[in-house]
């Protein structure tokens, strides 16, 4: 099929989606991500990351070559979410390309923006997966 990346057998190819559908599918992805994060489910959250992937922590980039790396990272990081039982997200699509989307996502806990990340999502066999994660500065809300 022309325009098909050949990587998505069970879901429609991103090439077949219009902008509104892409926006909704990205929002749905981050809803699943938030639900999985709140459930402290490292096995499921690791499947939301592509392999290979790149996590660009300042001064400590992490090339991910196996899903077990992502699972181990989250298993060791749940304490940073102690006391968090609800999360809100603000998603801004920065760009789209064949089989990929860049999204700027601000995560708020208890009504306060706490994390902001730029995610490059790729069209995986089961839908979007995170291929590159880059922390960004959290911006103060506009008043």
Burial of 33 (0-12, 13-18, 19+ CB in 10 A): buried
Whole-model pTM?
0.83
Which pLDDT score is estimated for 17? 61
Q: Report whether pLDDT(20) > 90.
A: no
Contact present, 100 and 122 (Cβ < 8 Å) = yes
Q: Report whether pLDDT(12) > 50.
A: no
Structural domains in the chain, CATH included, are 14-135 (3.10.450.50)
Distance CA 111, CA 31 (A): 17
> What would the pLDDT profile of 29-61 be if each residue is shown by its tens digit?
999 999 999 999 999 999 999 999 999 988 889
Distance CA 62, CA 132 (A): 10
Distance CA 96, CA 11 (A): 18
Which pLDDT score is estimated for 1? 37
């Amino acid at each position: 099929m022309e325009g098909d990346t050949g990587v998505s057998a069970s879901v429609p190819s991103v090439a077949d989606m219009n902008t509104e559908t892409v926006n909704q599918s990205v929002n749905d992805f981050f809803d699943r991500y938030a639900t999985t994060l709140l459930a402290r489910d490292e096995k499921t959250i690791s499947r939301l990351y592509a392999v290979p992937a790149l996590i660009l922590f300042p001064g400590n980039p992490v090339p991910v070559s196996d899903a077990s790396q992502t699972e181990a990272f989250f298993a060791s990081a749940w304490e940073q979410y102690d006391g968090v039982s609800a999360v809100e997200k603000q998603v801004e699509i920065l760009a789209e390309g064949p089989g990929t989307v860049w999204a700027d996502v601000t995560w708020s806990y208890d009504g306060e923006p706490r994390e902001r990340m730029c995610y490059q999502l790729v069209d995986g066999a089961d839908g979007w997966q995170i291929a590159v994660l880059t922390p960004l500065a959290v911006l103060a809300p506009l008043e």
